[in-house]
C-alpha cells in the first residue's frame, strides 16, 4: 500500500509539474506578447467590464448560451464545481491530512451530481450530430477523464477505493491539461480579460443604458 | 510524428504572417474554445439554415485547427487526436467558403460564448491569411481596389460628387428658404469634417440633404471633403491590414489638411468601427482630434437644445435596427434611441435589441460578395422576422450597409416597410 501511495505521489507531482510549467510558459507568452498599447479614444473602461465579464455577463438571464440551454448550463456549473472540489482534495490526499468525516461526505455529495453531469454531457456529445461533428477524440477523452477523476474522488472520499488511485488519476489529468481542450483552464481568464478590454474600452460592458454626455458633442 | 504536407510559397507566407500576428490576445482566443457548441443559436446563419458548418465554433476551428497543427506540440505529433489540420487545399477552401461566405463578423456569438472567445477577431485573422493567398472574394476585393484607386469604394468621379452636392445645396436652399444655407465643400478650419458613405451620393442623396438640413438647423461649422470623404473601409472586412491602414491614413491626412477640429463619421457601422476603433491601431498612433459618430453628434444637438424637434411630425411607427459594428463593437447604443424617442411619436424596440441584436446579414462585406447572395438573404430571415413582429412601418438604422440589406429583405420577405437613416427622421422632425 505504501509503495502504491509513493508511486501515486510521483505521478501526481509529475502531473502538477507539467501543468504548472505549461501554464506559466503560456502565461508568460501571453504577457510578453500582450500588446496592450491602445491608441483609441475610450468610451468606457476595462476593469469594470472585466468585473462584469466575470459576474453579470455570466448570469443565465444575460447569457443566451445559458438561457437557451438551461439544463446544460446548470450541468456545466455542477461539473466545474465538482472538478474544483476534486482538485482541491489532491493535496489533502498527497499529505494524508486528516479531515473530519462530515466534510468528506459533503464533498462526496457535491461530486455525485457533478459526475452525472459529466456523463450526460459526454452522452450528449456522442449523440448530438452537431456536437459530434465539432469534436475530435480529445473532446471525448477530456470529458471522460475529468468525469472518471471526479467519480474516483467521490468514491475515495466515501472510502470505497484507495486514495492512491485518486492521486494517480489526478496526476494524469494535470499532465493532460496542456495537451487538448482542457487547456482552457489556463486561458479562460485571459480570454475573458481580452474580451472585456474590447467591450470595456468601447463602452459596451458593463451595460449602462444611459448616455454619458460630453460637452464637445454639442 | 505525423508528417506535415509540404507548403507552397504563398501558404508559407500566409502561415508566417499568422505567426507574426500571434499576440497575447490571439493566443488566448485560439486556445479557449471548449467545443460546447452552445453558441450555435447565437448565429443568424445557423439559425436560419440549421447547417452545422455555420456554427460559430466551427468557424473558430477553421483557424484553431491550423494553429494547433503548426504551433502546438500535440498538433505536430498526433494532429488527429486534437483536431489539428494541415494548411492544405481542403482547409483553405473550407475557410474561404465559411469565413468569407458564411460570417458577417457581427460578434453576436462572442458576446454569449461560454468562455468569451472573440470569434470575429479569429475570423478576420483567418481572412488576413487568405489575403496572402489571393483568395479574397472577387467582389469584396474589387470594392477595396476601387477605394484605393479612386478614393471611394463606388469609384464616383469627383466632378460627379461635386455636381450632386451642388444640386442638393440648391434643394436645401429652397427647402429652408434661405439663400445662405449650404453644403460646404473643402472648406478649411471648420469645426467638423463630415464623411460620407459613397452609397449616399450614388444612390441615397436624400440622406446627405437630411444631414445638411440638421447642420443648418444647428448652425454648425462643417465641411465635406470632395477629395477624401469615404467613411467605409472594406479592407477591414477583407482582412487586409496594409490597405486598411492606407485608407485610414488618407482620412487622417485630410483632417490635418483641412484643419478641422473633429472628425464626424457618417451613418456607417463598419466604417465607424474601422476608423474609430481599429484605425489608431493600424496607424500606430493616437488621433489628435476627436472622432465621433454622427449619431452621437445629433444626440448632443438635441440634448443641448441646439436643434429643436417635434415628434408629431413623424407619426408612423418606427423600429430601430442596431448595426453590429456601431453598437456591439462600437458602443453607440443609447444615443440612437434617445434621438428616435425625441423625433418620432411611436418608437418600437425589436427583440432582442442593443448589443444583443441580430445582424441584418449585410455585414462582413457580404453585400459585395455576390456569389453568396442566396445565403445572405436566407440569413437575413431572422432580421425580417424581428421587424415583422414590431408591426412598425419604418425601419430606421444608422448604417448604409444595413440599409442595402434591409431593402433587399424588405422585397424578399414582403415586409412592406420603409427603410430610413436616423438622420432622415431627424430632418423631418426639425423645427426651423
Ligand atoms: S460573428 Fe456573427 S455571423 Fe459570424 S459566427 Fe458569430 S454570430 Fe455568426
Ligand atoms: S460557446 Fe464559445 S466555447 Fe462554446 S463552442 Fe462556442 S465558441 Fe467554443
Q: What is the CATH number of the domain that holds B164?
A: 3.40.50
The residue from B247, B267, B300 where one domain ends is B300
Q: Please indicate, yes or no, if residue A195 is contained in any of the structural domains.
A: yes
Cβ of A14 under 8 Å from any chain B Cβ? no
List, in order, residues 6 or more apart from A137 with CB less than 8 Å away.
B80, B81, B82
Question: Which of B300, B317, B339 marks a domain boundary?
Answer: B300
Kindly list the residues from chain A whose CB atom is less than 8 angstroms away from the CB atom of residue B296.
217
- In the block, cell 491608441 appears at A39
Domain boundary among the residues B135, B165, B188 is at: B135
- Read off the pLDDT of residues B40-92 as tens digits, 9 standing for 90 and up: 999 999 999 999 999 999 999 999 999 999 999 999 999 999 999 999 999 99
Q: Is residue A217 part of a domain?
A: no
Host domain of residue B55: 2-135
Asked if residue B314 and residue B282 are part of one domain, the reply reads no
Same domain, B95 and B166: no
Judge whether B348 and B18 are in contact, CB under 8 Å.
no
Q: Is the peptide bond before B140 cis (omega within 30 degrees of 0)?
A: no
pLDDT for A218 equals 53
What's the number of domains chain A is made of? 1
Cβ-based contacts of B24 with chain A (< 8 Å): 29-35, 190, 194
CATH number at residue A49: 1.20.950
Residue A214 lies in a domain: no
A155-183: average pLDDT: 97
pLDDT, one tens digit per residue, over B210-266 is 999 999 999 999 999 999 999 999 999 999 999 999 999 999 999 999 999 999 999
Q: For position B241, what pLDDT does the model report?
A: 97
What's the gap in Å between B105 CA and the centre of ligand 1?
A: 5
User: Helix (H, G, I), strand (E, B), or coil: what is residue B224?
Assistant: strand
Q: Give pLDDT tens digits for A22-46.
A: 999 999 999 999 988 899 999 999 9
Same domain, B182 and B283: yes
Is the four-CA dihedral A95, A96, A101, A107 of positive or negative sign? positive
- Contact between A218 and B306 using a beta-carbon 8 Å cutoff: yes
pLDDT at residue A84, as a whole number: 97
Within a domain: residue A141? Answer: yes
Q: Is residue A76 part of a domain?
A: yes
B189 and B334 in a single domain? The answer is no
Residue with cell 459526475: A115
Residues 340-379 of B with CB under 8 A from A: 354-356
Domain for residue A218, yes or no? no
- Four-CA torsion A133, A135, A137, A138, nearest 10 degrees: 170
pLDDT tens digit sequence for A86-112: 999 999 999 999 999 999 999 999 999
Residues B150 and B281 in one domain: yes
If asked whether residues B152 and B120 sit together in one domain, one would say no
Average pLDDT estimate for B183-201: 98
Q: Are residues B239 and B272 in the same domain?
A: yes
For residue A211, count other CB atoms closer than 10 A to its CB: 17
Residue A39 domain flag: no
Distance CA A82, CA A174 (A): 15
- Please name which of B209, B338, B210, B195 lies closest in space to residue B270, comparing C-alpha atoms: B195
| Domain match, B210 and B160 both | yes
A38 within a domain of the structure (yes/no)? no
Ligand nearest to the CA of B106: 1
Q: Distances in Å between the alpha carbon of B11 and those of B6, B76, B89?
A: 10, 18, 10
User: Per the CB < 8 Å rule, is A68 touching B41?
Assistant: yes
**B301 reaches A (C-beta below 8 A):** yes
Domain count within chain B: 3
Structural domain harbouring A186: 2-32+44-209
Task: Say if residue B279 is in the same domain as residue B189.
Answer: yes
Chain B nearest C-alpha distance from A3 (Å): 32
In this structure, the answer to whether residues B272 and B419 fall within a common structural domain is: no
Interface of B with A in 97-156 (CB under 8 A): 110-118, 121
Atom of ligand 1 nearest to the CA of B120: 1
d(CA A81, CA A153): 13
pLDDT above 70 covers what percent of chain B?
Answer: 100
- The yes-or-no verdict on residue B209 having pLDDT over 60 is yes
Q: Chain A: nearest CA to B161, how far in angstroms?
A: 28
Amino acid at each position: 500500500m505504501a509503495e502504491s501511495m509513493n508511486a501515486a505521489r510521483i505521478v501526481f507531482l509529475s502531473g502538477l509539474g507539467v501543468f504548472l510549467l505549461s501554464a506559466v510558459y503560456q502565461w508568460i507568452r501571453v504577457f510578453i506578447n500582450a500588446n496592450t498599447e491602445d491608441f483609441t479614444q475610450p468610451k468606457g473602461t476595462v476593469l469594470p467590464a472585466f468585473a462584469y465579464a466575470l459576474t453579470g455577463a455570466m448570469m443565465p438571464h444575460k447569457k443566451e448560451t445559458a438561457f437557451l440551454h438551461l439544463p446544460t448550463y446548470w450541468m456545466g456549473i455542477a461539473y466545474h464545481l465538482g472538478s474544483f472540489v476534486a482538485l482541491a482534495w489532491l493535496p489533502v490526499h498527497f499529505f494524508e491530512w486528516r479531515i473530519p468525516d462530515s466534510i468528506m461526505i459533503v464533498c462526496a455529495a457535491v461530486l455525485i451530481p457533478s459526475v452525472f453531469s459529466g456523463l450526460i454531457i459526454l452522452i450528449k456529445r456522442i449523440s448530438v450530430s452537431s456536437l459530434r461533428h465539432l469534436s475530435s477524440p480529445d473532446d471525448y477523452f477530456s470529458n471522460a477523464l475529468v468525469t472518471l477523476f471526479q467519480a474516483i474522488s467521490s468514491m475515495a472520499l466515501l472510502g470505497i477505493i484507495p486514495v492512491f488511485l485518486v492521486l494517480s488519476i489526478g496526476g494524469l489529468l494535470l499532465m493532460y491539461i496542456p495537451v487538448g481542450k482542457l487547456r482552457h483552464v489556463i486561458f479562460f481568464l485571459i480570454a475573458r480579460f481580452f474580451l472585456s478590454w474590447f467591450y470595456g474600452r468601447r463602452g459596451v460592458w458593463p451595460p449602462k443604458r444611459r448616455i454619458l454626455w460630453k460637452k464637445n458633442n454639442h | 510524428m505525423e508528417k506535415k504536407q509540404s507548403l507552397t510559397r504563398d501558404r508559407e507566407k500566409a502561415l508566417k504572417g499568422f505567426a507574426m500576428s500571434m499576440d497575447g490576445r490571439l493566443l488566448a482566443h485560439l486556445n479557449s474554445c471548449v467545443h460546447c457548441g452552445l453558441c450555435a443559436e447565437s448565429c443568424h446563419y445557423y439559425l436560419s439554415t440549421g447547417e452545422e458548418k455555420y456554427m460559430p465554433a466551427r468557424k473558430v476551428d477553421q483557424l484553431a485547427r491550423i494553429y494547433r497543427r503548426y504551433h502546438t506540440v500535440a498538433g505536430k505529433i498526433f494532429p488527429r487526436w486534437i483536431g489539428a489540420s494541415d494548411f492544405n487545399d481542403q482547409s483553405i477552401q473550407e475557410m474561404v467558403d465559411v469565413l468569407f461566405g458564411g460570417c458577417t463578423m457581427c460578434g453576436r456569438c462572442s458576446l454569449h460564448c461560454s468562455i468569451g472567445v472573440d470569434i470575429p477577431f479569429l475570423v478576420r485573422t483567418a481572412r488576413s491569411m487568405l489575403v496572402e493567398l489571393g483568395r479574397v472574394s472577387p467582389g469584396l476585393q474589387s470594392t477595396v481596389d476601387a477605394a484605393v484607386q479612386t478614393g471611394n469604394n463606388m469609384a464616383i468621379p469627383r466632378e460627379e460628387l461635386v455636381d450632386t452636392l451642388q444640386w442638393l445645396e440648391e434643394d436645401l436652399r429652397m427647402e429652408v428658404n434661405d439663400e445662405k444655407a449650404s453644403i460646404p465643400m473643402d472648406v478649411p478650419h471648420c469645426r467638423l469634417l463630415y464623411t460620407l458613405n459613397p452609397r449616399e451620393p450614388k444612390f441615397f442623396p436624400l440622406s446627405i440633404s437630411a444631414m445638411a438640413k440638421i447642420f443648418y438647423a444647428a448652425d454648425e461649422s462643417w465641411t465635406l471633403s470632395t477629395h477624401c470623404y469615404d467613411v467605409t473601409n472594406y479592407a477591414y472586412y477583407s482582412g487586409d491590414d496594409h490597405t486598411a491602414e492606407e485608407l485610414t491614413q488618407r482620412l487622417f491626412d485630410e483632417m490635418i489638411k483641412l484643419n478641422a477640429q473633429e472628425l464626424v463619421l457618417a451613418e456607417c457601422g463598419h466604417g465607424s468601427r474601422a476608423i474609430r476603433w481599429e484605425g489608431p491601431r493600424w496607424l500606430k498612433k493616437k488621433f489628435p482630434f476627436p472622432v465621433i459618430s454622427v449619431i452621437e453628434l445629433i444626440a448632443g444637438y438635441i440634448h443641448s437644445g441646439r436643434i429643436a424637434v417635434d415628434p408629431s411630425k413623424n407619426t408612423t411607427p418606427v423600429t430601430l435596427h442596431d448595426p453590429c459594428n456601431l453598437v456591439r463593437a462600437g458602443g453607440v447604443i443609447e444615443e440612437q434611441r434617445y434621438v428616435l424617442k425625441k423625433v418620432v411619436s411611436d418608437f418600437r424596440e425589436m427583440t432582442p435589441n442593443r448589443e444583443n441584436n441580430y445582424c441584418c446579414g449585410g455585414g462582413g462585406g457580404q453585400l459585395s460578395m455576390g456569389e453568396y447572395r442566396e445565403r445572405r438573404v436566407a440569413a437575413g430571415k431572422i432580421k425580417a422576422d424581428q421587424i415583422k413582429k414590431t408591426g412598425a412601418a419604418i425601419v430606421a438604422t444608422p448604417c448604409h450597409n444595413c440599409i442595402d440589406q434591409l431593402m433587399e429583405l424588405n422585397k424578399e420577405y414582403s415586409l412592406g416597410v420603409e427603410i430610413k437613416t436616423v438622420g432622415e427622421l431627424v430632418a423631418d422632425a426639425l423645427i426651423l
